[in-house]
Amino acid sequence: MLSRAVECCPTSVELWLALARLETYENARKVLNKARENIPTDRHIWVTAAKLEEANGNTQMVEKIIDRAITSLRANGVEINREQWIQDAEECDKAGSVATCQAVMRAVIGIGIEEEDRKHTWMEDADSCVAHNALECARAIYAYALQVFPSKKSVWLRAAYFEKNHGTRESLEALLQRAVAHCPKAEVLWLMGAKSKWLAGDVPAARSILALAFQANPNSEEIWLAAVKLESENNEYERARRLLAKARSSAPTARVFMKSVKLEWVLGNIEAAQELCEEALKHYEDFPKLWMMKGQIEEQEEQTDKAREAYSQGLKKCPHSTPLWLLLSRLEEKIGQLTRARAILEKSRLKNPKNPGLWLESVRLEYRAGLKNIANTLMAKALQECPSSGVLWSEAIFLEARPQRKTKSVDALKKCEHDPHVLLAVAKLFWSERKITKAREWFHRTVKIDSDLGDAWALFYKFELQHGTEEQREEVRRRCENAEPRHGELWCAVSKDIANWQRKIGEILVLVAARIKNTF
């Protein structure tokens, strides 16, 4: 029936392809050859022929067919439309014809692209394929781009992140091995390789990668600190200590000193930590984190006067460090010196105008003291001085009485539309109104726009604990572990607490979520 239809309409591509689908492998090849003779200008016949060979295990023919397709179509006056071919490749990908999809990509990816636009265009093409879930297409683009730009760190990095998010551990590690051979000075590629091994529990392999990294990048601070972290996280404290001592003699940076102090502090060697801190401050008196640690160790030891002295000295050297001002004012607030805390924050705002973090603390200080009117007045001033601060707007929404919160959230979204803190506040608002679907949607938006904000993940997880399924909770937890957030007020309060120094991301998420009270 179909063969008669083809004889009647020899220029119908659909009929030829339908006939080929019904035939055995050998006959299908003959049908497609005949189709090409009758319709020499159609690309679908060529692509189908390549897919047929791939489906029958004849992958070495695939590349030849696609290359001949381009040559033959051009000879027949057909303009090669790059976009159409990329679409064909994506369809092959979805149909499971991986070799065909990759061959098409290799054949057309460079067509019609100016030399200086290649890298940029190809990276955009790869992103577009990922967005369409055509992962093999994206992989083929990265492979091709890396052949053309073998020494471009940025392309290796993009390819590595692609494998990390969409590939297997093996595919990531194989890519990184090639990457460091081409870009031995790219510390980040070595570190990704070591981390992948470490996460898989292969500590000796992670160690040897870092040793090789060190040969290529002697005295690199990042690699020193990665090696220290590897040892301390695996309870090899003596090794970590030795590495830090070596680092202090050959690459004595402020961060190396800071990590040295922290290691002794978390292990409970307070005297050693204090000595190292004093030594570090001789070299780096303008590094605020050292003063913060000095004060926090004194606070932990209940030496309030010494802590106050450390923070005050630190502020003389680092007057623009917001966390130092907050530590000093909270120290005074903790011992009941509200007036002193208030004066410290006023002074901090004079020295650091338009600083949302300091305004926020000033508002909260009054609120915690029960002086809600003063808190509201300060918030109005704060928003005048920092009109596009997401952290202030998100706080302002919840300072309002319930009926006014929605209006305030509309104002906040107008002022800072894409700010994660405002998006998070809107998610909380819907949650407080029991609008579950909308709240979930806004949580998704927040973590998409800023996956580094730990508070967003913790609130999202808490929300799913109350309103989601086991699967939804696990999904949030898994995505949070992949994102490895580092910031957020609630998040850092837990992750930087020395009692939690060895906790994994998933454990910190649970701890932060447990601290959140639904009082908004």
Rounded Cα distance between 276 and 257, Å, is 7
3-class DSSP state of 73: helix
Q: What is the pLDDT of residue 14?
A: 79
Average pLDDT over residues 107-126: 92
At residue 514, the pLDDT reads 94
Mean pLDDT (whole number) for 119-141: 94
CA distances from 243 to 231, 239, 249, 250, 501 (A): 9, 6, 10, 11, 19
Residue range 112-128: mean pLDDT, rounded:
92
Token pair belonging to 304 = 């309030």
Q: How far apart are CA 490 and CA 66, in angstroms?
A: 55
Give how far the C-alpha of residue 223 lies from the chain's centroid of Cα atoms, to the nearest Å. Answer: 20
Q: What is the pLDDT of residue 326?
A: 97
CB-based contact 222:191 (threshold 8 Å): yes
CA 173 from centroid of its chain's CA atoms: 19
Of 334, 328, 296, whose CA–CA distance to 312 is shortest?
328
What are the Cα distances from residue 207, in Å, to 68, 194, 211?
48, 7, 6
Helix, strand, coil tally for the chain in percent (to 5):
80, 0, 20
Count Cα neighbours of 197 within 13 Å in the Cβ-side half-sphere.
21
Q: Which of 253, 235, 271 is nearest to 244 (CA)?
A: 253
Give the position of tokens 């299908």: 28
Q: Is 72 helix (H, G, I), strand (E, B) or coil?
A: helix
433 secondary structure, DSSP code: T
pLDDT, tens only, 449-482:
999 999 999 999 999 999 999 999 999 999 999 8
**How far apart are the C-alpha atoms of 137 and 87, rounded to whole Å?**
10
Q: Render 332-363 in DSSP notation, one character per residue.
A: HHHTT-HHHHHHHHHHHHHHSTT-HHHHHHHH
518: left (phi over 0), alpha (psi -120 to 50) or beta: beta
pLDDT at 103 over 90: yes
User: 50 and 85 in contact (C-beta within 8 Å)?
Assistant: no
Tell me how far apart the alpha carbons of residues 39 and 455 are, in angstroms, rounded to a whole number.
Answer: 60
In whole angstroms, give the CA distance from residue 241 to residue 218.
Answer: 19
Task: Give me the domains of the chain, ranges plus CATH numbers.
Answer: 170-251 (1.25.40.10), 418-519 (1.25.40)
- Quote the CA–CA distance of 126 and 139 in Å, as a whole number: 8
232 in helix, strand or coil? helix
**Tokens 């090794």 sit on residue:** 239
Please tell me the predicted confidence (pLDDT) of residue 5: 53
pLDDT, mean of residues 56-69: 90
**Mean pLDDT, rounded, of the chain:** 92
pLDDT of residue 35: 82
Is the separation of the CB atoms in 489 and 360 below 8 Å? no
For the cut 70, the answer to whether the pLDDT of residue 519 exceeds it is no
User: Residue 356 CB: number of other CB atoms within 10 A?
Assistant: 20
Better-scored residue on pLDDT, 24 or 258: 258
Selection from 91, 70, 95 nearest residue 80 by Cα = 70
Give yes or no for residue 38 having a pLDDT over 90: no
3-class SS at 453?
strand
Which amino acid is present at 489? E
Average pLDDT of span 336-352: 96
Q: Give pLDDT tens digits for 309-318.
A: 999 999 999 9
What per-residue confidence (pLDDT) applies to 36? 82
Q: Pick from 302, 375, 288: which is nearest to 334 by CA?
A: 302
Which has the closest alpha carbon to 446: 432, 459, 433?
A: 459
Give me the numbers of helices (H) and strands (E) for the chain, helices first please: 31, 0
Burial of 249 (0-12, 13-18, 19+ CB in 10 A): exposed
Q: Is the model's pLDDT at 1 over the cut of 90?
A: no
**How large a percentage of the chain has pLDDT more than 90?**
79
Please report the beta strands in 97-172, taking only residues with DSSP state E, as ranges in sequence order.
Answer: none
- Give CA–CA dist 264/266, Å, rounded: 6
Query: What SS3 class is residue 250?
Result: helix
| Tokens at 244, concatenated | 């830090």
Measured CA to CA, the distance from residue 260 to residue 250 in angstroms comes to 14
Residues 6+ apart with CB under 8 A from 456: 420, 424, 443, 446, 447, 450, 485, 488
